Structure 1
Amino acid sequence: MQKFEKGFFVGAATAAHQVEGNNIHSDYWAQEQLPHTSFAEPSGIACDHYNRYEEDIRLLADAGLNAYRFSIEWARIEPEEGKFDPAEIEHYRKVIACCKAHGVEPVATLLHFTSPKWLIAMGGWEAESTVEYFKRYVSYVMEQLGSELHYICTINEANMGLQLAAISKRFRLMAEQAAKAAANAGKSAEGSVQVGMNFQKMMENMKYAAAENAAVFGTPQPKIFVSERTPEGDLLVLRAHAAAREAIKTICPEVKVGLTLSLHDLQAQPGGEAFAAAAWEEEFTHYLPYIKEDDFLGVQNYTRTLYGAHGQLPAPQGAELTQMDYEFYPQA
């Protein structure tokens, strides 16, 4: 029987906001509390991973996994601009130690979608100042925890901002299919994506969201990490990554650094070749200058995307769909 080589990692990953619970200083938490929120549900205590990480990591190890990618919540480390919380650093130090005690390699992600509320109020992921703010936060974490880690992912799915436009388009296609199916089954049609937002709900609530966001963030259109990004904002994220990589290598040169991208299997049907090529340029190749000095690239793949002579196509008729309404397509 073939076996993985020694040193090969098979693990699991989480995002702090999805599992820890009570990340009260983050932008997601603030938006979840809005009367007309676009989030499907508030995170609340989540699965209480913040307090139950020991049990969770033991279960992970008992399942035969030997790596755990978890994210460090920036909003916990720096709940107010320039004010760092050493108690939260100690919490993540214990998470790292717990991983090692169970023979699990800790892989830390420094930004997994959520940001401090104060960062968004200062312009968020379209503001030039964010590059230096992110570098300062990363430097603090590395000075405190860097010597205990071998692998760092700076930013999870750095291309998510651009992909949201594509996800919106995908949702409209899914909604059309779901509406047809719902009409036949007598049900309502809904759709969601992995960032935790309900797009149908979002469209219905748009008229209320501007005023509510202005009250919380000081702007009717806060630029959170998963906002639809401008081309300038897209490259700002990659410059933030490069600045973080420089800080990490300066403080801990031996640590392996990279980021992750959400990459679909882009498949051109007859006449769709140009659309698929343009999508690949947007989704991946224009990032190459910013990641060529990285030690690794994380690839997150959920499905395939089909392109025809007139652009993106819906999932084939009768295809099995995931809970997120993606085509179930492991070959991707």
Structure 2
Amino acid sequence: MKKFAKNFMLGAATAAHQVEGNNIHSDYWAQEQLPHSMFNEPSLDAVDHYNRYTEDIRLLAEAGLNAYRFSIEWARIQPKPDAWDEKEVEHYRAVLKCCHENGVKPIVTMHHFSSPKWLISQGGWENPETVKKFAAYCKRLVSELGDQMEYVCTINEANMRLQLAALMQDMMKRMQAHSDQEGTGGKKSESDVQVGINMNQENMMLSMMETAQAFGIQDPRKVHTFVSQCTPEGDLLVMRAHEAARDAMKEACPHLKIGLTLSLHDMQPYPGGETFAGKEWDDEFLHYLPFIKNDDFLGVQCYTRKHFDKDGVTQPAADVRRTQMGYEDYPSAIANVVRKVAEDFKGDLIVTENGIATEDDARRCEFVKEAAEGIQACIEDGIPVKGYMYWLLLDNFEWQKGYGMTFGLIAVDRSTQTRTAKESLSVLGCLIER
């Protein structure tokens, strides 16, 4: 099998809340503790990456990987609106230095779904003031740590809120059509959104009310976490926050290469489904182009494909191979999406997430090889793909799904926090020239 060039960034990714543990000042932590929480289980110590990052980065490097994408937790740095925790800043400085000491290039994400609890209490991701608050946080942080950074993602999956809004609207159609003898209604499912969520209608209303109480908000419809449905204005607010943060960080550290990441699907229409596929691609990608045209790169994230017929999105057949997340197991999707993105975005591309949730590591090994072959073909065709980050480094806390999803290249026994590298880690590490 062909190998990536030495200067290609080949690595794995994590997100702070999913791996660090005890992120007690975040909105996610608050939601996990509710009596009628939508979470299967709370994150608690997670996989203790906060204390074990040295071991984890060393395992990554020893396998031959040269890049690590991780996020800095805003809620740790600013646990209160007027606080700035220098001890936590120094923690992340140590993580960055550990990367460099092991020959690993850090790719830093400034916001990966979780937010400070106080931000949500102040209106969250529908409050225009969030744009300024996020930009100020990013500027101050890179002013202190920017000398250790090169690649920075402002916001992970900046289009996620719009995807969730579409899913919620579809769910409401199904509820309204429940008694319809013809069975009309929505056709989407949890697996249409590339994040671990639960759509348990029985718990949802109680959870919404308890969530509002937890954030000191009277109306549950006015709780605006990042991973919640949004208005069209809220969707654009995220992009304005990205632009403001990018420009603020560039002012503080002109050397930084800054972009964001988007959650994308490989849109595949059957005859008659072309209009639906085009509309969904516009929603997921094209309408964001004006906001990212001045970025240094785009982080492309894809796990599966979507099919469309004359009635809209269709669910995979019952006999299609699926991942633990319910997605169709389709490793060709990432290369297809990279090619589609490159038609309109002419800057550098980094695959910031792509992976498979499965207990079968032999299947993970094959998935990695197939995805890598697709990316190598994109590079040979002149598409400027600069890196590939497998999701994810460690089996971890998959948001509302809890610890049942196993994406990782490294297994973790959470009773002892013992790490065991899987064969897939070495398979990925062998795909680059040394």
SS at match of 2:118: helix
State the shift of 1:42 in Å.
Answer: 0.4
Q: For residues 150-229 of structure 1, what are the structure 2 equivalents within 5 Å? A: 150-167=150-167, 195-200=195-200, 203-219=201-217, 220-221=220-221, 222-229=223-230
Q: For residues 70-81 of structure 1, what are the structure 2 equivalents within 5 Å? A: 70-81=70-81
Query: Which residue does 1:51 correspond to in 2?
Result: 51
**304 and 167 in structure 1: CA distance in 2 versus 1, 3 angstrom threshold:** farther
SS at match of 1:7: coil
Higher relative contact order (CA 8 A, sep 6+): 2
Distance across 1 between alignment mates of 2:258 and 2:208? 38
Counting aligned pairs with the same residue, the percent is 60
State the shift of 1:171 in Å.
Answer: 8.7
SS at match of 1:110: strand
SS at match of 2:278: helix
Distance across 2 between alignment mates of 1:212 and 1:65? 43
State the shift of 1:169 in Å.
Answer: 7.9
Distance across 2 between alignment mates of 1:194 and 1:49? 23
Q: Does the CA-based 8 Å contact 2:165-2:228 persist in structure 1?
A: no
Query: Which residue does 2:400 correspond to in 1?
Result: none
Residue 104 of structure 1 pairs with residue 84 of structure 2: no
Instruction: Provide runs of 4+ in structure 1 moved above 3 Å.
Output: 165-172, 190-196
Q: For residues 278-317 of structure 1, what are the structure 2 equivalents within 5 Å? A: 278-317=279-318
Distance across 1 between alignment mates of 2:82 and 2:166? 35
Q: Does the CA-based 8 Å contact 2:268-2:306 persist in structure 1?
A: yes
**169 and 233 in structure 1: CA distance in 2 versus 1, 3 angstrom threshold:** closer
**63 and 166 in structure 1: CA distance in 2 versus 1, 3 angstrom threshold:** farther
Residue 318 of structure 1 pairs with residue 319 of structure 2: yes
**2 and 194 in structure 1: CA distance in 2 versus 1, 3 angstrom threshold:** closer
Residue identity matched to 1:216: A
Distance across 2 between alignment mates of 1:63 and 1:165? 40
Query: Which residue does 2:253 correspond to in 1?
Result: 252
Query: Which residue does 1:177 correspond to in 2?
Result: none
Give the aligned CA root-mean-square deviation in angstroms: 1.8
Residue identity matched to 2:17: H
Query: Which residue does 1:86 correspond to in 2?
Result: 86
What is the aligned residue count? 313
TM-score by length of 2: 0.70
Q: Mind listing any 5+ residue stretches in structure 2 that lack a counterpart? A: 173-188, 334-434
Residue identity matched to 2:208: A
Distance across 1 between alignment mates of 2:95 and 2:61? 14
Q: Which one is further off, 30-39 or 2-11?
A: 2-11
Query: Which residue does 2:31 correspond to in 1?
Result: 31
1:9-59 per-position Cα deviation (integer Å, ceiling 9, x unaligned): 101000000000000000000000011111121000000000000001011
Q: Does the CA-based 8 Å contact 1:138-1:248 persist in structure 2?
A: yes
Distance across 1 between alignment mates of 2:195 and 2:34? 17
Query: Which residue does 2:232 correspond to in 1?
Result: 231
Q: Mind listing any 5+ residue stretches in structure 1 that lack a counterpart? A: 173-189
Q: Does the CA-based 8 Å contact 2:322-2:328 persist in structure 1?
A: yes
